[in-house]
Structure 1
Amino acid sequence: MDLDALNMFLIAGGTLLIPILAFVTSFFLWPAALIKIYYWYWRRALGMQVKYANYGNYRFCYTCRGRPGPKPSILMLHGFSAHKDMWLAIAKFLPKNFHLICVDLPGHEGTTRSPLDDFSISGQVKRIHQFVESINLNKRPFHLVGTSMGGCVAGVYAAQYPKDICSVTLICPAGLQYPTESKFLKHLQDLKESGDENPKIPLIPSTAEEMEQMMKLCSYVRFKIPPQVLQGLIDVRIPHNEFYRKLFLDLVDEKSRHILQEKMNKITVPAQIIWGRQDQVLDVSGADVLSNAIPGSQVEILENCGHSVVMERPRKTAKLITDFLSSVQTTENNKKHD
């Protein structure tokens, strides 16, 4: 090999080696940074743009793809301690011609977090309505999707602002009285009876081991996650754990605990209910509670699936939402021609 060829080989090898070393270093030393890069990459790959909207001095952070068209826009509300990027798994399988919006709920990720804010379900519903108005989303009725805490917010929003939306999808929502008590709710009851003033809440992990236990609680599917990634997930969450604790206490307070139960009879738009059969956080028996209260609602129970429906069955969930929207549009078109 001549000297020029050797130099080219070394330069090419060095060019490849630098990003590989950067990746390996990040994986072992800064896993949290790697997780942020992961979300950044998938947002770009899926065409999701990060944007901001202001309502007075309050700022909302959201991602969106596409523009309003003949089909209803879709607004997606994440669960407790999550953020807008949790919907990327679903966005991957939704048609590209849908106008899709995923917003950080109050206090989460890029949306304003103020100690003066009301983080009860009613307070969050009010904020989401402000967000909808700030981007003029309610110029035409849109489809609202929410999971867990976000499902409760979505359900109460549908009850309070029926003219804003054309339909709603509730994925294992909080805020109900469940005929069968889940493993998680039983644990909360035990903590309450113990009298511990600062109990460990399973949904607010502070170590990699606790993170793994939380994932086992939330998912029926057993994801194999490297310890470094678990640590990265914890590193991202720990700075926010004090807020999560305050939020959690607001959610289990009398004001919010059963608010969807109290409002569900006022939901008049077409409703879709999706639940994981093996949900250990909020029992699947809640699906019957909702379907009995909302006339004509469609219920989809996913087998071999836990509370993290969006993560465990993203392709199936996206198809169910797409099919549901098609059926709602078909029904509306038939009414117009009758």
Structure 2
Amino acid sequence: MHRPLPMNVLFVLIFSVLMTACSRQAIYETAIGFERSSAGLELATVKVDNLDIAYLRNRQAVNGDTIVMIHGFGANKDNWTRLAEHLTDDFNVFAIDLPGHGDSSKPLDIGYHLEDQAGYVARILEVLSIDDAHIMGNSMGGAITALYAANHPDKVKSAVLFDPAGILDYESQLVELVKEGGNPLIPKQPGDFERLLDFALEEKPFVPWPILDVMEERAIANREVNEVIFAAIRDAGFEADFRNAITRIKAPVLVIWGKEDRVINYRNGEVFVAAIPDAWLEVMEGIGHAPMVEAPKASAKLFLEFIGHNR
């Protein structure tokens, strides 16, 4: 079984790189590479139409089902490595950077509505020859996962929605802040990224300072495309169509929600499971907006129990 990189090993790694006078970017790349490797994953890219799409996949394929993982707004494929560490011995994992995110192409002139993004996922999986998989998504990626499952029922074994977007019957702190003209999800200046983590996560994983600095620099550099994407996904006119779409989902669906979520109120989970024909809800105490990051082992256990029950 793959093991996460112990903290003492990570400190030695960072210290060793620092002693070689490498840049913070080199430290980041080395550390993120070790985390991917400890999860049994490797980086790959694929051309999808006119877009370059980056993704993580198993270093060694296994004789098991496929899991596709779809990150949330402003996030990337590496949000899934700590969950994948518990799954890659038995499943073939594909964690995708959506267009506009991570290491994938970031055009400003394509559609970023949820339905558009679900279409990109469908095209990416077609190019990767993935046509029968468990699909997981967080936040925006949870809404995209739900739409993909609704639009391609024959290609989805199960769906797991971590704190999904798409329904806002119950408002959250984020909604209140956006109405007041602020948005903690889009870092604009130094210090904003750490505030984003404090806002989004209740159980923050340890991130050493050189890595945190690079993550912040990248987030600030992505501000323009993030503003375009956020404007598209907050389109209030889409919600009725989304609610109708998820009633068409045929696969079993597990909705996992952190009770301390300040981005999307956990009580919206009840609305999701009421709308989806075969859905369960699990609320995780003491967890925020990203259970797969904050409680990866517990999240993996819920998924395994869920698919075991539905076999």
Q: TM-score, normalized by length of structure 1?
A: 0.81
Q: What's the CA shift for 1:175?
A: 0.8
Deviation at 1:205, TM superposition (A): 1.3
User: What's the secondary structure of 1:137's corresponding residue?
Assistant: coil
Deviations 1:200-255 (A, max 9, x none): 42101133422222111111125565655443321122221111111111111235
Of the three residues 54, 57, 61, the one matched with 1:61 is 54
Report the counterpart of residue 196 of structure 1 in structure 2. Answer: none
Counterpart code for 1:161: H
- Gaps of at least 5 residues in structure 1 are 1-16, 192-199, 330-338
Match of 1:326 in 2: 308
Aligned pair 1:203/2:185, yes or no? Answer: yes
Distance 1:109 1:326, change over 3 A: same
The residue aligned with 1:99 is 92
- Provide the alpha-carbon RMSD of the alignment: 2.4
Structure 1 pair 316–177 and aligned structure 2 pair: CA distance change class (3 A):
same
Separation (CA, whole Å) in 1 of partners of 2:163 and 2:108? 28
Cα distance in structure 2, aligned partners of 1:257 and 1:79: 18
Alignment-mate amino acid for residue 308 of structure 1:
A
Residue 82 (str. 1) matches residue 64 (str. 2): no
Q: Relative to total residues, which structure has the larger helix share, 1 or 2?
A: 1
Structure 2 residue 167 is the aligned partner of structure 1 residue 176: yes
The residue matched to 1:295 in structure 2 has which SS? coil
Instruction: Report how far residue 80 of structure 1 moved.
Output: 0.8
Corresponding residue for residue 281 of structure 1: 263
Aligned residue in 1 for 2:154: 163
In the alignment, the residues of structure 1 paired with residue 204 and residue 191 of structure 2 have an alpha-carbon distance, to the nearest angstrom, of 15
The percentage of counterpart residues that share the same residue type is 25
Q: Tell me, yes or no, if structure 1 residue 132 matches structure 2 residue 125.
A: yes
Q: Is it true that 1:272 corresponds to 2:254 in the alignment? A: yes
> Does the aligned pair in 2 maintain the 1:120–1:255 contact within 8 Å?
no
Tell me how far apart the structure 2 counterparts of residues 167 and 308 of structure 1 sit (CA, whole Å).
Answer: 19
SS of residue paired to 1:266: coil
Matched residue SS, 1:214: helix
Bigger radius of gyration, 1 or 2? Answer: 1
Partner in structure 2 of residue 194 of structure 1: none
Measure, in 2, the Cα distance between the counterparts of 1:62 and 1:166.
21
SS in 1 for 2:310: helix
Out of 176, 180, 195, the residue aligned to residue 186 of structure 1 is 176
Aligned residue identity for 1:157? Y
What TM-score do you get using the length of structure 2 for normalisation? Answer: 0.88
1:154 maps to which residue?
145
Instruction: Give the unaligned 5+ runs of structure 2.
Output: 1-11
2:13–2:31 contact (8 Å) kept in structure 1: no
CA distance in 1, matches of 2:92, 2:204: 32
Task: Mark the CA change 1:225 to 1:134 in structure 2 (over 3 Å): closer, same or farther.
Answer: closer
Name the structure 2 match of 1:4: none
Offset of residue 63 of structure 1: 1.2
Residue equivalent to 1:52: 45
Q: 1:109 deviation in Å? A: 2.1
1:271–1:297: 8 Å Cα contact kept in structure 2?
Answer: yes
Secondary structure of the residue that 1:125 maps to in structure 2?
helix
2:18 aligns to what?
A: 23
Find the counterpart in structure 1 of residue 235 from structure 2.
Answer: 253
| Per-residue Cα deviation, 1:174-194 (whole angstroms, up to 9, x for no partner) | 01132x211111111222xxx
Give 1:122 shift: 1.0
Post-superposition CA distance 1:90-143 (Å, at most 9, x none): 0111250211111111121222222332111111111110011101111xx211
How far, CA to CA, are the matches of 2:218 and 2:204 in structure 1? 22
